[in-house]
Amino acid sequence: KLPIFVGLWYFFNVQYNIQNKMLLQAFKASWAVSWLQLAAGIPICFLMWATGFVKKPNVTMDDIMKLAPSGAAFAAGQVMTVASLGSVAVSFTHVVKALEPAVNAIASALILGQVFHPIVYASLLPVFFGVALASSSELSFTMFGFLTAMASNFCFVTRNVLATKLGSVGDMGTDKTERKTNQLAVLTMVATAVLFPIALVLPGGLLSIPAAWQGAIAKGVPADKLAYMMATSGFYFFMYQLSSFWVLSQVPPITHSVLNTLKRVVIIVVSIVVFGTPVTTMGSIGTATAIGGVMLYTVTKKYYSSKGK
């Protein structure tokens, strides 16, 4: 199962980043795109339950209220990621998102009370240095793109930490893969509901869809191509999240972290090739340093965790 799950995770994530960037270049309504991509997962969830692919979870309104903060973090993380991808190069967004382990270390200490050895925190310094180096030489750099990518790190880490803390909420199924699938399904629905009123009233939200659609058509984007990019970006978004949860059901978090780092390398390389993103020498060194720093952090964390420190 694991090689299939990892292959699906990488495939869907790469496809999402490509389709999403192409959509955002043509369709100028990022809040609407964020909400539509979240909502796209709901019919997939109902299809999985209707076909018996996974057993329908048993959750109460009280369970949903407990999961609301995690769902809100999920929604915010999606909005911030889409905003960053629309503002800067895909490769740069993912270099900044390499800082996620550092954010996770802080959040784990604050929310879960997990404090690591000082050397573990020190091993994160190359990540900070690499991202700073890549940012200073990034040709597509905007402060908005950088800050939204960083904000997405905080949001997704909060979602993951809260999901871990609230892992026993509701009857999500019997085996681990089924539980992870249903946990994502419920979080997707909660996140979609939380984001809806915000996406409805803000500029670039759901009420901006007609104007954004006409704007894209005016740029020469065919209506069928626009609809295809919307549909596929939503499908790929949910499926990459789902396959990531599947991988997590098969391996320890530390292994998932390594695979996630390697996935970022794949996305960075593919996006540079597909979009012809210009890369400077300093940017390449910064990216390599940041990715290498994440690997160093992962190994260091595993070493000290095994020593019980």
* C-alpha–C-alpha distance, residues 3 and 33, integer Å: 31
Q: pLDDT tens across 241-292, in order?
A: 999 888 888 877 667 777 887 888 889 889 889 988 888 888 889 889 988 9
Residue 302: per-residue pLDDT: 81
The residue that leads in pLDDT, 154 or 228, is: 228
Angle subtended at Cα 76 by Cα 235 and Cα 10, rounded to the nearest 5 degrees: 40
Q: Which of 3-12, 136-145, 202-211 has the lowest mean pLDDT?
A: 136-145
Query: Does position 67 have pLDDT exceeding 90, yes or no?
Result: no
Task: State phi, psi for 164 to the nearest 5 degrees.
Answer: -65, -45
- Cβ atoms 100, 253 nearer than 8 A: no
Q: pLDDT tens across 100-113, in order?
A: 878 878 777 777 67
> What average pLDDT does the structure give for the chain?
88
Please return the burial class of 308, using the count of CB atoms within 10 Å of its CB with bins 0-12, 13-18 and 19+.
Answer: exposed
- What is the 3-class SS of the chain, one letter each residue? CHHHHHHHHHHHHHHHHHHHHHHHHHCCCHHHHHHHHHHCHHHHHHHHHHCCCCCCCECCHHHHHHHHHHHHHHHHHHHHHHHHHHHCCHHHHHHHHHHHHHHHHHHHHHHHCCCCCHHHHHCCHHHHHHHHHHHHHCCCCCHHHHHHHHHHHHHHHHHHHHHHHCCCCCECCCCHHHHHHHHHHHHHHHHHHHHHHHHHHCCCCHHHHHHHHHHHHHCCCCHHHHHHHHHHHHHHHHHHHHHHHHHHHHCCHHHHHHHHHHHHHHHHHHHHHHHCCCCCHHHHHHHHHHHHHHHHHHHHHHHHHHCCC
Query: Does position 308 have pLDDT exceeding 70, yes or no?
Result: no
Q: What is this structure's pTM? A: 0.86
Buried b (16+ CB within 10 A) or exposed e, 58-73: ebeeebbebbbbbbbb
- Cβ atoms 241, 184 nearer than 8 A: yes
Residue 58 pairs in a beta bridge with 171
How far is the CA of 41 from the CAs of 9, 50, 88, 109, in angstroms? 15, 14, 26, 31
Q: Which of 95-104, 137-146, 247-256 has the lowest mean pLDDT?
A: 247-256
Residue 188: per-residue pLDDT: 94
Percent of the chain with pLDDT over 70: 97
Sole residue written with tokens 């769902």: 71
- Cβ atoms 291, 261 nearer than 8 A: yes
Query: Does position 160 have pLDDT exceeding 80, yes or no?
Result: no
